[in-house]
């Protein structure tokens, strides 16, 4: 059976990037402690207790999915900003864009009796339009419960990011992301993976999914609606920027305040929405001449 490499929590960004290049999936063991897991559980339990099962084979009739984790959970906001994960996302996605954003948040709880999910590449959410040379995603699944092969640990096919798109893995080529609570699976948008079958009678498998994408792509979970301005205003500038209340590049994602008749907030960065004076720091933005040079790339 194929296996995923396990790294220690003190591993370097470069070590992680090397394994991502080779396998496109890996586990970092024990990256968060019991206290953080308890806080995630108490934030999410009220939502996970409700029956919010999937509505088709892919989302799973015995699988619960809860989103809007940035608005709903302080502990998940901390996870989303985890330094090691952000360092990896930044470096991994750097060759393909000016920056990255949080693109998807979900607590996924695979219940007893769930069947295995079809293997897929998450980049498929953008259709077949992205050329294969563009890597759009660096994704995480944080184990909140233990992940075992029996209770639905994620299936991952190491190395399948280099495969022809129609190649189908044999059983032996599929690894299972078995890990203890507090460990995290990192995987890219191009690796074949899918939820595992839960053949237990009474065990649920819960993971917190936080996916990071290039900032020039549309987010899978619309963060501006899942964490609207009246919630975002009370969050930190870092998390607001990560979910998209910031500009990606010279003009990408600017806004104009529809209620402002003074034209103070005309074509400015969304960060200004949460300030009482205009602050558009153009010196930190890419050179506008790149708009011309890059348009012919
Ligand atoms: O639940 C899992 O382990 C994986 C789910 C997944 O890959 C998906 O829904 O896209
Ligand atoms: Fe997936």
265 φ/ψ angles, rounded to the nearest 5 degrees: -105, 60
The alpha carbon of 180 and the centre of ligand 1 are apart by a number of angstroms equal to 18
The alpha carbon of 154 and the centre of ligand 1 are apart by a number of angstroms equal to 7
CATH 3.40.190.10 fits 6-214, yes or no: no
Token code pair at residue 251: 């003009």
Q: What is the pLDDT of residues 157-197, one digit of tens each?
A: 999 999 999 999 999 999 999 999 999 999 999 999 999 99
As a whole number of angstroms, the distance between CA 5 and CA 28 comes to 9
Predicted pLDDT at 275: 82
| CB of 143 shorter than 6 A to ligand 1 | no
Token code pair at residue 49: 């207790």
Residue 221 CB neighbours (<10 A): 19
The ligand that comes nearest to the alpha carbon of residue 152 is 1
Which atom of ligand 1 is the closest one to the Cα of 194?
7
Q: What is the pLDDT of residues 218-229, one digit of tens each?
A: 999 999 999 999
| CB of 198 shorter than 6 A to ligand 1 | no
The alpha carbon of 133 and the centre of ligand 1 are apart by a number of angstroms equal to 23
The ligand that comes nearest to the alpha carbon of residue 194 is 1
| CB of 193 shorter than 6 A to ligand 1 | yes
| CB of 102 shorter than 6 A to ligand 1 | no
Q: What is the pLDDT of residues 20-64, one digit of tens each?
A: 999 999 999 999 999 999 999 999 999 999 988 998 989 999 999
Which atom of ligand 1 is the closest one to the Cα of 106?
9
Lowest pLDDT segment from 72-86, 111-125, 211-225, 254-268: 254-268
Stretch(es) of the chain classified as CATH 2.60.120.620 = 6-214
Residue 188's nearest CA partner among 29, 23, 76, 78 is: 23
Residue 62 CB neighbours (<10 A): 16
Predicted pLDDT at 291: 67
Nearest Cα residue to atom 4 of ligand 1: 195
CA angle 141, 98, 254 (to 5 degrees): 100
């Amino acid at each position: 059976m194929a296996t995923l490499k396990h790294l220690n929590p003190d591993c370097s960004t470069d070590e992680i990037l090397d394994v991502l290049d080779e396998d496109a999936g890996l586990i970092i063991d024990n990256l968060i402690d019991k206290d953080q897991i308890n806080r995630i559980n108490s934030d999410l339990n009220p939502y996970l207790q409700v029956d919010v099962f999937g509505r088709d084979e892919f989302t799973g009739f015995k699988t619960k999915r809860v989103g809007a984790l940035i608005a709903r959970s302080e502990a998940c906001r901390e996870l989303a900003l985890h330094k090691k994960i952000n360092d990896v996302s930044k470096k991994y996605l750097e060759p393909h864009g000016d920056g990255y954003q949080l693109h998807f948040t979900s607590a996924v709880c695979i219940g007893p009796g769930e069947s295995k999910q079809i293997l897929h590449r998450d980049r498929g959410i953008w259709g077949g339009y992205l050329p294969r040379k563009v890597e759009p995603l660096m994704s995480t699944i944080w184990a909140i419960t233990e992940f075992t092969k029996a209770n639905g640990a994620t299936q991952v096919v190491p190395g399948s990011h280099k495969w022809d798109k129609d190649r189908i893995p044999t059983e032996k080529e599929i690894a299972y992301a078995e890990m203890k609570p507090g460990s995290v699976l990192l995987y890219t948008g191009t690796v074949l993976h899918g939820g595992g079958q839960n053949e237990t009678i009474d065990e649920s498998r819960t993971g917190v999914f936080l996916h990071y994408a290039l900032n020039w792509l549309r987010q899978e979970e619309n963060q501006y609606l899942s964490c609207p301005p009246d919630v975002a205003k009370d969050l930190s500038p870092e998390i607001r920027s990560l979910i998209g209340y910031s500009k990606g590049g010279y003009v990408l994602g600017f806004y104009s305040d529809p209620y402002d008749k003074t034209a103070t907030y005309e074509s400015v960065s969304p960060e200004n929405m949460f300030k009482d004076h205009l602050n558009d720091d153009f010196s930190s933005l890419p050179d506008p001449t790149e708009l011309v040079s890059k348009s012919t790339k």
